[in-house]
Amino acid sequence: MIFSTIFVLALAGSAFGQTALPTTSSAQQTTVVPPVQQTTVVPPVQQTTVTAPTNPPATSPVQQTTVVTPTFIPQQQQQCSTNLEGLYLDVVFILDSSKGTDPLGFNGERGALLAFASTGLVVSQTQPQAVRASIITAATKPVVVGDLNAYNSVSDFLRAVKTLSYVSNTGPSLDLAQALITADNVLSTSGRGTNIQKLIVVFTSADDYDCTIENSLSQSRSHRLASDEKSPCRIAANIKNSGIYILTIRLNFNDAPNLHVNGIASPCYALNNDEQMLPEFMKLLSWTNCYCPSSYTQNLHLTKCYKTAECLYLEETPTGYTSAQIAAGLDNGILVDILNQDKQDFVMNMTTNYRPVFIGLNQIGSSGTWKWDTGSSFSPVGSFNKFAGNDININNKCTYLDNDGLWHDTVCSAFEKANPYIYQVSACSAGKFCAAT
């Protein structure tokens, strides 16, 4: 399961005061390199509404709305690596050079790119575990300054950013739809394989869209017009459906309001113009690079905006408990742990129609003491506990999750009382390179 991403960073004008920051494409199988310790997950953000000002700056500030910003998942769950030096992404930057911004605002966009390239990440055309970057300037029409094959190093990229000119491609307004189409074409024509996550960063002074309303209207025959196909909402939806994320950031040019909560961004991928923008951008770079190979399901929660480095697989063929442990290990996996209600709900949803299903809590090798195969401890009092009745007090047992949502004891056998089972492996991330096959 491969993740790709598009960033839409809305433009901050002359006072670019904040430095700009940061499901799944192909079914191609991925060969996983042995795991590296995972760290933090980068969850995401809501969105708010954008206006593209063409008049002089507003005299009063725009009221800021509260958005969900990237947060850390519970420590018990496996975290996505935040090692920026290990990122392997294809990133397309779209810089707004329209009259909706100005030369100083454009210079602020360049400053954001300079910050991006100064984080320790590797830019290379030859190293597989490296970032490649493309630059597009966009106004009435988009112009590709350099595609993903253009820059061989961080120095090359920085040199290109420093030579960008606002006046070389300016116009009355930003055509966001054409900019998105052009970025998508760059990824299609010069992007790498399906194991490389894709990301487009767009600085925009254009009007924002309530895509919920627009998509709802488009369901009506009276609104199915040819022009709908040119709508940024429709184009963004097509891009996201192909496995590319869209991240939007309003930089409040001329006090423009924040991006719309139902704008063109992917769920949790909208950031506001505040002091957290740059660190959240960096977290989201890591989050983008944290994904599961095809056939696995990533443990994530878009409503609460978090993603773990856990890839779950449900094996429907029944076997005994200890045989399930061995089979999971043959895939570098471990029978699943369930350390909080979110994980419990996630596993329940995955195993519908296949319960009872074995989970990784047992007393093997430690009679009377329950433990998770993942190494997480379990305490009857302090730990998340879904044991049924008195089952927790029975010794020399293993567990399964049943339709009642409770954990029940079972015999720890290689063949008796066989059930389906669910296990987890580590996600591909900046700390664990996954090569395409």
Q: Is residue 146 part of a domain?
A: yes
Residue 31 has pLDDT above 50, yes or no: no
CATH of the domain at 396: 3.10.100.10
Q: Is residue 432 part of a domain?
A: no
pTM over 0.85: no
CATH of the domain at 55: 3.40.50.410
**C-alpha closest to that of 245 among 92, 117, 97, 374:** 92
Q: Is residue 88 part of a domain?
A: yes
User: Among 54-63, 298-307, 421-430, which stretch is predicted with the lowest mean pLDDT?
Assistant: 54-63
Residue 119 phi, psi (nearest 5)? -90, 0
Residues 221 and 136 in one domain: yes
Residue 350 has pLDDT above 60, yes or no: yes
Report the distance separating Cα 115 and Cα 379, nearest Å. 45
Maximum Cα–Cα distance for the chain, whole Å?
Answer: 77
Residues 326 and 369 in one domain: yes
Residues 210 and 172 in one domain: yes
Angle at the Cα of 162 from the Cα atoms of 159 and 164, rounded to 5 degrees: 110
Residue 65 has pLDDT above 50, yes or no: no
Residues 197 and 313 in one domain: no
- Tell me the two tokens of residue 105: 């605002």
* Beta strand pairing call for 398-401 and 357-362: antiparallel
**C-alpha closest to that of 209 among 246, 243, 169, 184:** 246
Residue 427 phi, psi (nearest 5)? -70, 155
Please check whether residue 95 is in contact with residue 136, taking contact to mean a CB–CB distance below 8 angstroms: yes
Q: Is residue 437 part of a domain?
A: no
Residue 63 has pLDDT above 80, yes or no: no
User: Among 252-261, 270-279, 300-309, which stretch is predicted with the lowest mean pLDDT?
Assistant: 252-261
Q: What does the mean pLDDT of the chain come to? A: 81
Residues 91 and 117 in one domain: yes
The 10s digit of each residue's pLDDT in 222-273 is 444 434 678 899 998 999 899 898 888 776 665 665 666 668 888 888 877 6
Residues 412 and 330 in one domain: yes
Q: Is residue 20 part of a domain?
A: yes
Residues 184 and 323 in one domain: no
How many domains in the chain? 2
DSSP per-residue codes, 9-41: EEP--S---S-----------EEEPPP------
Domain end marker among 291, 309, 328: 291
Q: Is residue 434 part of a domain?
A: no
Report the distance separating Cα 228 and Cα 346, nearest Å. 36
The 10s digit of each residue's pLDDT in 74-89 is 556 788 999 999 999 9
Compute CA distances 234 → 140, 188, 241, 265, 433, whole Å: 19, 18, 10, 12, 33
Give the domain extent around 160: 4-291
Peptide bond preceding 356: is omega within 30 degrees of 0, i.e. cis?
yes
Residues 88 and 216 in one domain: yes
Give Cβ neighbours of residue 411 (< 8 Å, ≥ 6 apart): 321, 397, 398, 417
The 10s digit of each residue's pLDDT in 92-140 is 999 989 988 889 889 988 998 999 999 999 999 999 999 999 999 999 9
Residues 306 and 236 in one domain: no
Of residues 284 and 46, which shows the higher confidence score?
284
Domain end marker among 291, 307, 322: 291
Residues 70 and 197 in one domain: yes
- Tell me the two tokens of residue 275: 């002091």
Q: Is residue 225 part of a domain?
A: yes
Residues 402 and 311 in one domain: yes
The 10s digit of each residue's pLDDT in 157-195 is 999 999 999 999 999 988 989 999 999 999 999 999 999
Torsion angle (degrees, nearest 10) of CA 270, 276, 282, 288: -30
Please check whether residue 287 is in contact with residue 267, taking contact to mean a CB–CB distance below 8 angstroms: no
What confidence score (pLDDT) does residue 269 get? 84
Residues 159 and 275 in one domain: yes
